[in-house]
Amino acid sequence: MRVAALYDIHGNLPALEAVLREIRHERFDRIVVGGDVLPGPMPRETMACLLDLDIPVQFIRGNGDRAVIELLSGTDPVGVPAHVRPLIRHSADALDSEQRHAVASWPDRLRMEIDGIGEVLFCHATPRNDTEIFTQRTPDSRLLAVFAGITARVVVCGHTHMAFDRMLGAVRVVNAGSVGMPFAEPGAYWASLGPDVRLRRTSYDVAAAAQMIRASDYPQADDFAANNILQPPSEQKMLDAFGQAELK
């Protein structure tokens, strides 16, 4: 069985569609969507694409998805900065009832046996919550407690939008990167699993995608097009920024 891990799509439909074309061409058996489908510029269209896939797909919830559901349930989204709240509201208002029910049903973790790898644990940020930050630079000493007791051979995560593959004791920890908002050169980042683990990057027409997003009603459409699609922040810049917020 070959599994494609797609994380942090963030409503970037053109990036998702490019990755799905590659997945179909290579005949993957299953897709795991690792959270943060939302928020983003085209939330309803992105959800419709994912829920109508002709390939088996399983979802887990990210902190962005959780914030949307909290808002829809009348709960104040926990830990959401003021400048992000209009984006959460935009996604919440855009979803139809079927899509809202689907997001609300997603679990926070998923376990799966994959040929050639063994047991794989999929989570959004870390195995214990959906917001903790760590990168390829975070020292092992800070992470041992986070991954203590994990029996899976591989843990796949996302959240920081930067792909990496590292060992933490006996556990292989893979960040699949971000399909829709990468902190790297333009493209859509994801991971393939089975029989090995590969970090992947799919090129797509970023100029056309930026034009499409600028034509949307997303509250920060111009900024998203310029700074998340055409010229994303560099990995080095974001590693330095996340150094202030990563696990201590």
Task: For 89-139, write each residue's pLDDT tens digit.
Answer: 999 999 999 999 999 999 999 999 999 999 999 999 999 999 999 999 999
Distance CA 110, CA 106 (A): 10
Residue 52: the pLDDT is 97
Q: Give the number of other CB atoms < 10 A from CB of residue 211.
A: 13
CATH label of the domain that carries residue 177: 3.60.21.10
Residue 38 within any structural domain of the chain: yes
Mean pLDDT of the chain: 96
Residue 114 within any structural domain of the chain: yes
Q: Which residues contact 37 (CB under 8 A, 6 or more apart)?
A: 9, 10, 11, 43, 46, 47, 50, 59, 62, 64, 65, 103
Residue 200 within any structural domain of the chain: yes
46-85: per-residue pLDDT in tens? 999 999 999 999 999 999 999 999 999 998 887 889 899 9
Residue 46 within any structural domain of the chain: yes
Q: Which residues contact 211 (CB under 8 A, 6 or more apart)?
A: 225
Domain that holds residue 65: 3-242
Residue 183 within any structural domain of the chain: yes
Residue 37 within any structural domain of the chain: yes
Domain count, the chain: 1
Q: What is the pTM of this model?
A: 0.97
Could you give the residue ranges of the DSSP H alpha helices within the chain? 13-25, 43-51, 63-72, 85-94, 97-105, 140-143, 206-214, 221-224, 235-242
Residue 215 within any structural domain of the chain: yes
Residue 248 within any structural domain of the chain: no
